[in-house]
Amino acid sequence: MSKPKVLVADPIAQKGIDELANGGSLDVTVKIGLKPDELLAIIGEFNALVVRSETKANAKVIEAATNLKVIGRAGVGVDNVDVDAATKRGIIVMNTPGGNTISTAEHAFSLMVSTARNIPQADASVKSGKWDRKTFVGVELYNKTLAILGMGRIGTEIARRAIAFGMRVLAYDPYLSASRARSLQVELVESLDLIIPQADFITLHMPLTAETKYMLNAERLAKTKKGVRIVNCARGGLIDEAALVEALKSKQVAAAALDVFEAEPLPAESPLRGLPNLILTPHLGASTAEAQEGVGIEVAEQIRAALLSGEIRNAVNMPSIDAKTLAVVGPHIALGEKLGHFLSQIAAKRVESLNINYSGKINEADTTPVTRSILASFLRAAGGPEVNVVNCLSFAENLGIKLTESRESSQSDFAELIELTATGENGWVSVAGTFFGTTPRIVKVNGRHVEAKPEGVLFLFENRDRPGVVGHVGTLLGKHKVNIAGMSLSRNEEGGEALTLLNLDSVPSEAIIKELTAGGDIHSVQVVQL
Ligand SMILES: NC(=O)c1ccc[n+]([C@@H]2O[C@H](COP(=O)([O-])OP(=O)(O)OC[C@H]3O[C@@H](n4cnc5c(N)ncnc54)[C@H](O)[C@@H]3O)[C@@H](O)[C@H]2O)c1
Ligand SMILES: O=C(O)[C@H](O)COP(=O)(O)O
C-alpha cells in the first residue's frame, strides 16, 4: 500500500518536518512559496496539507484536493483556510492553539512598550546620525488603563504582564464569564462603547469574524481618549486601516503598532508605511524559535495521528478524539458503523429523523465519535463514500434529517446498548447492538429481540408464526446452495407475527426470495450486506 502523502506548503520548523517523516510511514514533500496555480496543479496528489498563514487553502484549492483528508495549520488563525468548503468535502482542519500564545503576547506587549517609548523611531533616528532627545519623550505604562479586547489565551497573558507593570486592566469579551474575569484580576466591561473611552492603551486579541470586522472604525476611534495608543497583533481587518491613518494623522491616536494587516504582505504603496507614529512588523507574533518549534512539532504529530491511527486532535471542524478516548470507544465506533449501515438498508427513503440511544456503560465515555460514525455510515447510502465523520452533520442538515441523541437506560438486559431509530413518513425502523464480552452483536431489530453477528450477509423477514416456516426456509435456501451461518427468531406471541434474522454465507437471488414469499407466510424480506 502506498504511503499517505503530505505537502508542507509554508515554512515550519525543521523539527516538525522531521516529525512528519519520522519512521518513514508518510511521504513528505516540502514546497514553500507555491503560486496559487502551482498549488492547484499538485494538490490532488496529497492526503494532507500543512500551512501557516501564507498559503491560501481556498474553495478552489479544496475542490481540486480530491485526495485530501486533513489540513494542518501550524498556528492559530485558520482564516486562510475555507473551513466550510473543507467541511463539506469531509476534510479535517486542525490548528495548534496555544503553541504560539506566549510568543504573540510577548510581541504585542513589546509593541505596546514601543508605542509608549518610541523605541523603533528613536533607534532609526540615532542610526541616521542624529541625537534627538526631545522628539521621543514617551509615557509610562504604570498607572495607565489598558483595554484588552478579546480575553482568550493571548489576551490573558497580556493581562498578567500588564498587571505586573502596574496597569489597570479592563477587558471586553462577550464570551468571558464574570468569574473567569475575577480570577484573572481584570475588570470586565460590558460593551465596547464603555471600554474604549476609558483606555490609555488598547490591544486587540480576537479572531476576525463578521462580528469583529472593523471593530475599531472611524466612529469608535473618535470615541477614544485623545492620545490613546493602539496595538493589533491579532488580525488585519479588526481595525479599519483608512480610519486609523486619519486618527494617527490628527493625533487622536498618539501612536499605534500593527503586526497584522487587511492585505498581507502589506502593499508597498500602503499609506500605513508613511506614518511616523505607527510601528509596523510583518506578522511576527508567532515568529520565535520556541513557538515555531512548538507548533511545527505539534501539527506534525496531529497529522501523523490523523492519517495513521484516526486520532483527531485540535480539529476546528469536528470534535477531537484523543488516543485514550479512541481506545475506549474504538469498538463502539466499529459497532456503530455496522448498525448505521444496517439501518440505512432497512429504512425506507425520506427519513426525517435519526435517534441514537445510548444506554448503560457506554455513557461513561464520550459518545461524540460514535455518533459521528453512526451518522456517516447511515448517510453513506445517500451520499456515497464522500460522506465521512467530518461532513456528516452538514450532509444530514442538507437532507433535512434531524439527528437526536438520548440516554435512556430502560434496556436492563444488556450492560450497554446502542439503539438507532430512523423515523420517516412511512413509520420507523430500528436496530440495536451490544457486546457479548468483546464480540459485537445485533440484539434487536424493530424492537424485537434477535441475535446476529453484524457482518456479511444478513437476511431479515417477517413471517406468520406457524409450524413448518423455518423448515421451509432452510430447505429452500439449501436447495439453492445458500448456507445459513446463524439464525435467530423472535415472535410477539404464539401463532402471531415472527421476525427472523439469518446470517448467510452468500446473497440469495431475487428468484429465491420470490419462491420463499410465494406461499404468503413470509413477507417483508430484506437483505442487508455489512
Ligand atoms: N500576530 C500573530 O502572529 C498571531 C499569533 C497567534 C494568534 N494570532 C491571532 O490572535 C487572535 C487571538 O488568538 P488567541 O490564541 O488568543 O485566541 P483565543 O480563541 O484564545 O481568544 C480569542 C478571544 O476572542 C474573544 N472574542 C470572540 N469574538 C469577540 C468579540 N466580538 N468581541 C470581543 N472578544 C471576542 C473570544 O471569546 C476569545 O476569548 C486570533 O485572531 C489569532 O489568529 C496572531
Ligand atoms: O494565527 C496565528 O497563529 C498567527 O497569525 C501566526 O501566523 P504565522 O504562522 O503565519 O506566523
Q: Is 77 in the pocket of ligand 2 (CB under 6 A)?
A: yes
Closest to 78 measured CA to CA, from 105, 103, 102, 51: 51
Residue 231 pLDDT greater than 90, yes or no:
yes
Q: Is the peptide bond before 265 cis (omega within 30 degrees of 0)?
A: yes
Listed in sequence order, the DSSP H helices in 118-250 are 119-127, 153-164, 178-183, 192-195, 218-222, 241-249
Give the integer Cα–Cα distance in Å for 159 and 182.
12
8 A C-beta contact, residue 292 and residue 19: no
Atom of ligand 2 nearest to the CA of 283: 11
- The mean pLDDT value for 153-176 works out to 94
Rounded to the nearest whole angstrom, what is the distance from the C-alpha of residue 201 to the centroid of ligand 1? 18
Which residue in 108, 67, 112, 111 sits closest to 89, CA to CA? Answer: 67
Written as nine digits, the cell of 32 is 514553500
Q: 235 an active-site residue? A: yes
Which residue's CA is minimally distant from atom 4 of ligand 1? 285
The percent of the chain in helix, strand and coil, each rounded to the nearest 5, is 35, 25, 40
Q: Find all residues with CB under 8 Å of 182, minimum gap 6, and list them.
A: none
52: Cβ below 6 Å to ligand 2?
yes
pLDDT of residue 412: 62
264 is catalytic: yes
Pairing state between β 427-436 and 416-424: antiparallel
pLDDT of residue 314: 87
| Exposure b/e, 474-486, CB count within 10 A at least 16 = b | eebbeeeebeeee
How many whole angstroms from 506 Cα to the centroid of ligand 1?
A: 57
Locate the ligand 1 atom nearest the alpha carbon of residue 97 and give its number: 15
Q: 51-65, 116-130, 170-184, 353-367: which range is least confident on average?
A: 170-184
Cell numbers given for 354: 435519526
Ligand 2: residue of 8, 52, 235, 288 to mutate (most ligand atoms within 8 A of CB) is 52
Which pLDDT tens digit goes with each residue over 457-499?
999 999 888 888 888 899 999 999 999 999 998 877 777 788 9
The question of whether 472 is a catalytic residue gets the answer no
3-state class (DSSP) for residue 470: helix
Q: Is residue 285 in contact with ligand 2, taking CB distance under 6 Å?
A: yes
What is the residue with the minimal CA distance to atom 41 of ligand 1?
Answer: 207
* Range list of β-strands (E), 393-482: 402-406, 416-424, 427-436, 439-445, 448-452, 457-464
In this prediction, residue 395 has a pLDDT band, given cuts at 50, 70 and 90, of confident
Q: Is the pLDDT of residue 411 over 70?
A: no
For the CA of 206, the nearest ligand? 1
More confident residue, 178 or 459: 459
Ligand nearest to C-alpha 152: 1
Terminal C-alpha separation, the chain: 24
Question: What are the tens digits of pLDDT across the range 448-462?
Answer: 999 999 999 999 999
- What the block records as the C-alpha cell of 177 is 464569564
Residue-wise pLDDT tens digits, 413-424: 789 999 999 998
* 247 Cα to the center of ligand 1, angstroms: 24
In the reported structure, the alpha carbon of residue 53 is separated from the centroid of ligand 2 by a whole-number distance in angstroms of: 5
Q: Which one of 229, 283, 341, 372 is the catalytic residue?
A: 283
* Residue 392 CA, ligand 2 centroid: distance in Å: 29
439-445 and 187-188 as β-strands: parallel, antiparallel, unpaired? unpaired
Distances (CA, A) of 171 to 156, 166, 182, 312, 355: 9, 16, 11, 33, 42
Find residue 216's DSSP bridge partners: 239
pLDDT of residue 408: 84
3-class secondary-structure state, position 49: strand
Residue 325 reports pLDDT greater than 90: no
Helices vs. strands in the chain: H and E counts, helices first: 17, 22
Mean pLDDT to the nearest integer, 104-133: 98
> Cβ atoms within 10 A of the Cβ of 216, count?
25
Q: Which-ligand-closest: CA of 148?
A: 1
Distance CA 390, CA 434 (A): 25
**pLDDT bucket at 264, cuts 50 / 70 / 90:** very high
CA of 7 to the centre of ligand 2 (A): 18
Active-site residue, from 161, 235, 341, 372:
235
What's the pLDDT tens digit per position in 10-39? 999 999 999 999 999 999 999 999 999 999
Mutate to test the pocket of ligand 1, among 154, 215, 232 (most ligand atoms within 8 A of CB): 154
- Yes or no: say if 103 and 109 are a contact pair by the CB < 8 Å rule: no
Name residues contacting ligand 1 (CB within 6 A): 76-77, 97, 100-101, 104, 149-155, 172-176, 205-207, 211-212, 233-235, 259-260, 283, 285-286
Among 179, 184, 175, 180, CA closest to 209: 175
Verify whether ligand 2 is closer than 6 Å to residue 75 (CB atom): yes
Question: Ligand 1, atom 19: nearest CA belongs to which residue?
Answer: 152
**Nearest residue to 466 via CA among 412, 520, 409, 527:** 520
Strands (E), 47-159: 48-51, 70-73, 92-94, 145-149
Nearest CA to ligand 1 atom 38: 152
**Which residue out of 63, 246, 264, 451 is catalytically annotated?**
264
Say yes or no: CB of residue 294 within 6 Å of ligand 2: no
Assess whether pLDDT exceeds 70 at residue 410: no
Higher pLDDT, 495 or 97: 97
Q: In sequence order, what are the beta bridge partners of 419? A: 357, 432
Q: How remote is the C-alpha of 322 from its chain's centroid?
A: 13
Return the C-alpha cell found at 475: 430447505
Atom 40 in ligand 1: which residue has the minimum CA distance? 207
Distance in angstroms (rounded) separating the CA atoms of residues 448 and 354: 19
CA dist 321 and 475 (Å) reads 49
Residue 216 CA to ligand 2 center (angstroms) comes to 21
Q: Name all domains of the chain by residue range, CATH numbers in brackets.
A: 5-98+290-309 (3.40.50.720), 101-280 (3.40.50.720), 319-454 (3.30.1330.90), 457-530 (3.30.70.260)
Nearest CA to ligand 1 atom 21: 152
Output the DSSP codes for 265-332. SPPTT-GGGG-TTEEE-SS-TT-SHHHHHHHHHHHHHHHHHHHHH--B-SBSSS--B-HHHHHHHHHH
Poorest-pLDDT segment among 121-125, 326-330, 352-356, 428-432: 326-330
100 lines ligand 2 (CB under 6 A): yes
Query: Sheet of 522-529: strands edge to edge?
Result: 484-491, 497-504, 457-464, 522-529
Q: Per-residue pLDDT for 350 more than 90? A: no
For the chain, what is the mean pLDDT?
93
Query: What mean pLDDT is predicted for residues 272-289?
Result: 98
Name 245's bridge partners: none
| Ligand 1 centroid, distance to 157 Cα (angstroms) | 12
